[in-house]
Amino acid sequence: MIKLRNITKQYPTEPLPTLDGLDLEISADDLIGLYGASGSGKSTLLRILGLFDFDYEGELHFDGSKIDVENHAMITTIRREKIGFIFQDFKLISDKTVKENLEWVCILSKIPKKHIKRSINRAFFRVSLSQNMLDKYPHQLSGGQQQRVAIARTLLKSPQFIIADEPTGALDQSTKSEILSLIKSLKIPCIIATHDLETQPYCTRILYIHSGKLHDTHKDKAP
């Protein structure tokens, strides 16, 4: 469903390309763990996949269509409606309640007003949060609860693909596994950039970035 063809990305301030001729195909049943040392280019690759960065060489295809970097309408539609994002720092709006955070995304995603309550309740159910969390502010929740809210937020738009940049980076050990189980249970193709070895058992496939190159390990075929 997503194809990268010969992607090369060099920041003007860097002596070498951060990504050097990457090829990758992501299919509908993939849950990818993206590994690599700090500074190896994981977030750079996720920003390209998430249609936030177009300053690269090569081609990106989404559902059979080549991403045309000049076609802002296409890009906005795919990013808003088809791709879900999960971040290390949750990115909840701190002066809005959980419910207001979620309503805001419903409005941006053009969910009809009469369906907003039902959509929020459904998303909350999928991430196993109780309704009494809705009126709390983000700082009144634990890290794991905030990440569940962030995942509920991304589910509101029924994403076809989820991009998670260090989703467990701010969580303690047992909360990490809860969040990873939750991500796996969604059954939505996903790429998770991470340092955590603990993420590996949840993945169907492990990728490593090193010196601008991508090394692909299909776990099932690994020796």
Q: Residues in the site for ligand ADP, rule: CB under 6 A?
A: 11, 13-14, 18, 36, 38-44
CB-CB neighbours of 205 under 10 Å: 20
Residue 178 C-beta: closest distance to ligand ADP, Å: 24
Q: Which does 11 bind (CB under 5 to 8 A by kind): Mg ion, ligand ADP, none?
A: ligand ADP
| Piece of 34-42, 70-78, 87-95, 199-207 that binds Mg ion (CB under 5 A) | 34-42
CB of 40 to Mg ion, least distance (A): 9
End-to-end CA separation in angstroms for the chain = 27
Q: What CA–CA distance (Å, rounded) separates 189 from 25? A: 12
Question: Which residue, 57 or 89, is less far from Mg ion as judged by CB?
Answer: 89
Give the tokens for residue 142: 């634990």
Minimum CB distance to ligand ADP smaller for 30 or for 166: 166
Q: How far is the CB of 221 from ligand ADP (least distance, A)?
A: 25
**Which of ligand ADP, Mg ion, none sits in contact with 54, Cβ below 5 to 8 A by type?**
none
Residue number with CB closer to Mg ion (35 or 124): 35
Distance (Å, whole) CA 177 – CA 160: 23
What is 162-218 written as a DSSP string? EEEESTTTTS-HHHHHHHHHHHHHT---EEEE-S-GGGGGG-SEEEEEETTEEEEEE
Dist. CA 123–CA 133, nearest whole Å: 13
Query: Which is nearest to 92 in space by CA: 83, 101, 81?
Result: 101
| CB 10, min distance to Mg ion, A | 17
Q: Closer to ligand ADP by CB, 22 or 111: give it.
A: 22
Residue 39 or 201 with smaller CB distance to ligand ADP: 39
Q: How far is the CB of 38 from ligand ADP (least distance, A)?
A: 5
What is the spatial distance between Cα 30 and Cα 42, in angstroms, rounded to a whole number?
A: 17
Question: Closer to ligand ADP at the Cβ: 186 or 206?
Answer: 206
Closest approach, Cβ 193 to ligand ADP, in A, equals 6
Which of 18, 40, 43, 146 binds Mg ion (CB under 5 A)? It is: 43
The angle subtended at Cα 213 by Cα 29 and Cα 65, nearest 5°, is 50
